[in-house]
Structure 1
Amino acid sequence: MIIAAVGDIHSPRFLPLFLKALSEVSVKPDLFILLGDIVEKNNIEALTPVYKAVKERFEGVPLLGVFGNEEFRGFEKEYLVKYPGITWLNDELRVVGLDGLEVCVVGTRGALDKPTPWQERNIPGIRDYYMSLPERINGLLKECRRVKAHLTILASHYGVTYSNLRGEKPSVYPYLASEKMSEVIKPELVDLVLHAHAHNAVLEYTMVNNVPVYNASLPGRGRILVIDVKHRRSVLHWLSKPR
């Protein structure tokens, strides 16, 4: 099983880099995941070239997406209506059948340890939302196990640990990730975690409680992350490399 993932395209800002990176993926993935901040400043139309490029390059491949902070809250329905070919996950899960296996994907914007000053001023209740989200995500991951999915993926825009933020200023770590979210990353609940948002973080992946966590931020990686998943029940081998 091959999973492709990328976030922080900020179209049109990094669109040329994205199109180049897309052309360099030499294998057809079984699943393609967009990890938020796909557009810049809620420019809904700017998602069109990203959407068309993925659909043309990988016809028939399921395309999942989560929202980032640049896809503004309150506009989710507009994205759903304009881009129905993307399965949008907004604090929810979807089970996808891939090559005889059922993959359960939990998708979310994610949480931050500290809301940004702008969020504090403009999004009522955002601090409480960030505090309560890990428990909600924990419940969704448990639901994936209840449906006996062969593979469970957590896809978040925001980071889920500080351990892979090296390269960013430590003073901004609380605005990039949630350490509390790392508490729900357990091998009995989730097999793979993907996130974006940390543009300058130099580590591609880290292990949290023996679960691989990948930062698929386009500015940081300079490419689309391609992950080979070789699955044998309860035994996973992960390999990420340029394609």
Structure 2
Amino acid sequence: MENNKQQNPIRIAAVGDIHVKETDQGKWVEYFRTISAQADILLLCGDLTDTGHLAEAEVLAQELKACTIPIIAVLGNHDYERDQQKTIKKMLENDKVHILDGQTVVLHGIGFAGVKGFGGGFDKHMLSMFGEPMIKSFVQEAVDDALKLDRALAHLDVDYIDIPKIVVLHYAPIKETVVGEPPEIFPYLGCSRLVEPINRRQVLVAFHGHAHVGTLEGATSAGVKVFNVAKPILQREGYEVPFYLYEVELKPEPATQEVVSQQG
């Protein structure tokens, strides 16, 4: 894709948990048109469908045609409900829509890395890989996604020098942005294993969803901003059109080509 003359700042719209239903035909057209008029890139932070039904993904694919800017997305737990996640990914992906699961995309001079993430808890209360095989499998899932995220960010570090890096997740990497949910379910809302590569790889900002009654904004121990952009939170915070707009100032550079890079 050719990259037009670079503009500053780059405007990034982010939202999660849109939960598109089979009966939503036409509901999202104006929403995506509004985002396209105000942003340069759209991030969708998981739970794109309501129950993981292919008919819901088909509706979303049609609705996304109203979006005229590039889309970077990850799937969420609802998209996995019917074990059709691979088909949903294929149905939604095209030249404009990039569904990440350990891959990277570079657009407008910004590197994006995305994984769904998983649960496991936070900080000193994080589950350890000890005990029954079922617990070990649960913890291993979070470890695997953290490793996928680290490899994706490492790929950006090797192939692109000194570009801003943004992480797209569904599950939370820090406890701060799930506060508001019942503490008993924190282990199912995210995992601190995800934050280690975010801190070490000097990520600019991370976006996630999943915790519908969590907290909009937090930060990692290294000061990386984290935003929980679940649509219900944005509505609660008074966003008339529920998406979060984040601006990235780029260093002046000669115009280059947009690069889409897949790995992992």
1:228 alignment partner in structure 2: 247
Using a 3 Å threshold, how does the CA distance of structure 1 residues 80 and 22 change in structure 2: closer, same or farther?
closer
Three-state SS of the structure 1 residue aligned to 2:78 is coil
Three-state SS of the structure 2 residue aligned to 1:231 is coil
Using a 3 Å threshold, how does the CA distance of structure 1 residues 141 and 213 change in structure 2: closer, same or farther?
same
Q: Which amino acid aligns with 1:93?
A: T
Q: Normalising by structure 1, what TM-score?
A: 0.79
Question: What does the per-residue CA deviation read over 1:3-37, in whole Å, with 9 as the maximum and x for residues that have no partner?
Answer: 11111111229969866754654843211111111
Using a 3 Å threshold, how does the CA distance of structure 1 residues 167 and 137 change in structure 2: closer, same or farther?
same
Q: Gaps spanning 5+ residues in structure 1: where?
A: 234-243
Q: Structure 1 residue aligned with 2:57, among 40, 43, 47?
A: 47
Q: Structure 1 residue aligned with 2:114, among 86, 94, 107?
A: 107
1:175 has 2:188 as partner: yes
Q: How many residues align?
A: 222
Q: Which amino acid aligns with 1:79?
A: I
Q: Structure 1 residue aligned with 2:102, among 85, 88, 91?
A: 91
Whether the 8 Å contact between 2:120 and 2:138 is mirrored in structure 1 is: no
Tell me the CA shift for residue 133 of structure 1.
Answer: 2.7
Q: Which amino acid aligns with 2:19?
A: H
Q: Structure 2 residue aligned with 1:130, among 129, 137, 142?
A: 142
Tell me the CA shift for residue 121 of structure 1.
Answer: 10
Tell me the CA shift for residue 107 of structure 1.
Answer: 1.1
Q: Which amino acid aligns with 2:246?
A: I
Q: Normalising by structure 2, what TM-score?
A: 0.73
1:154 alignment partner in structure 2: 167
Report matched runs for 1:72-91 at 5 Å: 72=80, 74-85=83-94, 86-91=97-102
Q: Structure 2 residue aligned with 1:140, among 126, 139, 152?
A: 152
Whether the 8 Å contact between 1:21 and 1:224 is mirrored in structure 2 is: no
Whether the 8 Å contact between 1:41 and 1:70 is mirrored in structure 2 is: yes
Structure in which a larger fraction of residues adopt strand: 1
Identity across the alignment (%): 21
Question: What does the per-residue CA deviation read over 1:100-149, in whole Å, with 9 as the maximum and x for residues that have no partner?
Answer: x2x2211111021169xxxx999994431213432332222122111225
Using a 3 Å threshold, how does the CA distance of structure 1 residues 49 and 206 change in structure 2: closer, same or farther?
same
Q: CA RMSD in A?
A: 3.0
Whether the 8 Å contact between 1:196 and 1:217 is mirrored in structure 2 is: yes
1:4 alignment partner in structure 2: 13
Q: Which stretch has the larger CA shift, 39-48 or 154-163?
A: 39-48
Using a 3 Å threshold, how does the CA distance of structure 1 residues 80 and 139 change in structure 2: closer, same or farther?
closer
Tell me the CA shift for residue 94 of structure 1.
Answer: 2.1
Whether the 8 Å contact between 2:49 and 2:56 is mirrored in structure 1 is: yes
Runs of 4+ in 1 over 4 A off after TM superposition: 13-26, 120-124
Whether the 8 Å contact between 2:11 and 2:40 is mirrored in structure 1 is: yes
1:191 alignment partner in structure 2: 204
Structure in which a larger fraction of residues adopt helix: 2
